[in-house]
Amino acid sequence: MQRQSTQKPLEQARVRTQYVQDSKDKIDKTVIHMEDHFQHTISREQLAEIAELNPDHYSRMFRKYKGTSPIGYLTGLRMEKAKTLLKHSHYSIAEIARLVGYSDPYHFSRRFKQLIGVAPTHFKEQDLPRIVALDGLGHCQALGMEPIAADLDRAGGYVHVSASNQLLNIGPLVTPKADLEQLIALHPQMIVTANSELEQQLSTVATTIKLDVLEDPIYTQLFAVAAALGREKEAAAWVKSYEAQCTELRSRLFGSIGGERVAILRVREQLLQVYGMLNMGYPIYHSLQLAPPDKISMQSIFNAHFHSSVISIEELPFYEAEHLLVVVQPDNGARSEWQEITQTEAWHNFPAVRMGNVHHIDVANWLNNDPISILKQMHEAAELLMKGSRRRNYPSWMQ
DNA sequence: CTACGTACCCACGTTATGTG
DNA sequence: CACATAACGTGGGTACGTAG
């Protein structure tokens, strides 16, 4: 008799979940090692040893979680460091090559051109505009442009800000004089903002780029920024890569959950919302083309700007779905609201709850609506829905 | 001339991938 | 997990261009 058949399904799921988590932790351990030691020689074997995995198996696992080979990831890391040094230091190319882990500057130069598109010397001389991103940091980064300052409070957890890129946190800009003076002192050439009043006010300081984050689809927003920065080619390349990833994830998801419905629930103090196709719904319903609850489909058809419905817990059965993504606001009011919800009959009868398909997502990563965040949200959602058909992903404060 | 950077070539090492 | 093999990456060498 096979061992599996004697093991309870829940126990199997627990073991599988533990295994997945262990592998991820091991890969993360090697990523930290790369970040700390990129200036030295690092081999796949060394990394595999750190991860306590067979080198072949390690490469496979790494690609599974990071989408690239270990050495490919390390090279990318080194090139990012090199870009920073080229822009912000006076070291020679040979010195920079050495500082990022290349003993042969010629080799470094070749790889740099191959990956970045321009030779190190030209990159150093490129006169990039001084951009201040009061909004749209993710838009700029998707176009390969690193602003000199940004409102990091509005950037969201998914927009990566590396410690080395000297990005100044300027926000939140609430228009009093002091803030404006600080902004002018930066001598910006471009300012990206979603606030029309500010745009008017700042148009005398620099060329302003107005983002319409509520009305415009993400591609329109990206191309608006690209047009102002002369980066249309980069925008097109980003869209192409993004759509290729959408297609790949859609086909994998179809294989694992088929046409099952996904609902998105946001819990706040005294407020329960079910999301539509916009904002948090965008990566789920638009990018991954997953099915929303039937009522959300109807509401979206009748109102193209439909954002979310505020509901009472008794109305939950009208939004039936086989999978549920839940955002609980990280405050005590929302947490106690959440505790109450999970005690109700409507909750226990909800299909996704009965099937064990409830996943928690972090508000800090999910409220932002920029290319970088949307891409990562899509990957996070796909991973949760594919791997975790029986996995509970409670945040640490709930355990 | 010298220093620095890029392009090209070649041999060898490393990594990815398919198969069992 | 082991193995074979193809693909890719690396490092050393040389030639050449450019600027001071």
Q: How far apart are CA A66 and CA A390, in angstroms?
A: 23
Higher-scoring residue by pLDDT: A288, A231: A288
Q: Would A238 be classed as within a structural domain?
A: no
Q: Would you call A64 helix, strand, or coil by DSSP?
A: helix
Could you give the C-alpha distances from A355 to A147, A344, A348, A385, A391, in angstroms and in order? 45, 17, 10, 12, 10
pLDDT digits (tens, 9 = 90+) for A226-277: 998 888 877 887 887 788 778 878 887 887 888 899 999 999 998 999 999 8
Bases along strand C below 7 A from a protein CB:
1-4, 9-14
How many angstroms is C1' of C3 away from CA of A57? 14
pLDDT digits (tens, 9 = 90+) for A87-112: 666 566 777 777 777 766 667 777 77
- Alpha helices (runs of H) in chain A, residue ranges in sequence order: 3-6, 9-37, 44-51, 55-66, 70-88, 93-99, 105-116, 120-125, 137-142, 177-185, 196-202, 218-229, 232-257, 281, 294-302, 332-341, 345-349, 351-354, 363-366, 371-387
Residues A266 and A373 in one domain: yes
Residues A85 and A172 in one domain: no
Six-digit token pair at A390?
A: 């029986």
How many angstroms is C1' of C19 away from CA of A82? 24
Residues A371 and A262 in one domain: yes
Whole-model pTM: value is 0.65
Indicate the average pLDDT of chain A.
77
Q: Determine the nucleotide nearest to A111 by Cα–C1' distance.
A: C9
Tell me which of A230, A259, A285 is where a domain ends.
A230
Say yes or no: Cβ of A81 under 7 A from any atom of strand C.
no
Say yes or no: Cβ of A45 under 7 A from any atom of strand C.
no
Give residue A31's Cα distance to chain centre. 18
Least reliable range by pLDDT among A178-192, A260-274, A360-374: A178-192
Query: Pairing state of beta strands A168-169 and A262-268?
Result: unpaired
Residues A259 and A389 in one domain: yes
Residue A119 reports pLDDT greater than 70:
no
Q: Would A348 be classed as within a structural domain?
A: yes
How many angstroms is C1' of B13 away from CA of A80? 25
Q: Determine the nucleotide nearest to A60 by Cα–C1' distance.
A: B16
pLDDT digits (tens, 9 = 90+) for A291-344: 999 999 888 888 888 889 999 999 999 999 999 999 999 999 999 999 999 999
Bases along strand B below 7 A from a protein CB:
4-8, 14-18
Residues A288 and A215 in one domain: no
Residues A165 and A308 in one domain: no
- For residue A328, the enclosing domain spans 244-398
Residues A20 and A98 in one domain: yes
Segment A188-214 mean pLDDT: 84
Using a 7 Å CB cutoff, list residues 54-73 of A near strand C.
54, 56-57, 71-72
Residues A95 and A175 in one domain: no
Residues A17 and A79 in one domain: yes
Residue A14 reports pLDDT greater than 70:
no
Residues A16 and A160 in one domain: no
Residues A219 and A248 in one domain: no
Provide the pLDDT for residue A261: 94
Could you give the C-alpha distances from A181 to A129, A168, A209, A210, in angstroms and in order? 20, 15, 19, 21
Provide the pLDDT for residue A63: 67
Number of domains in chain A: 3
How many angstroms is C1' of B7 away from CA of A28? 38
How many angstroms is C1' of B20 away from CA of A107? 39
Residues A265 and A393 in one domain: yes
How many angstroms is C1' of B2 away from CA of A234? 40
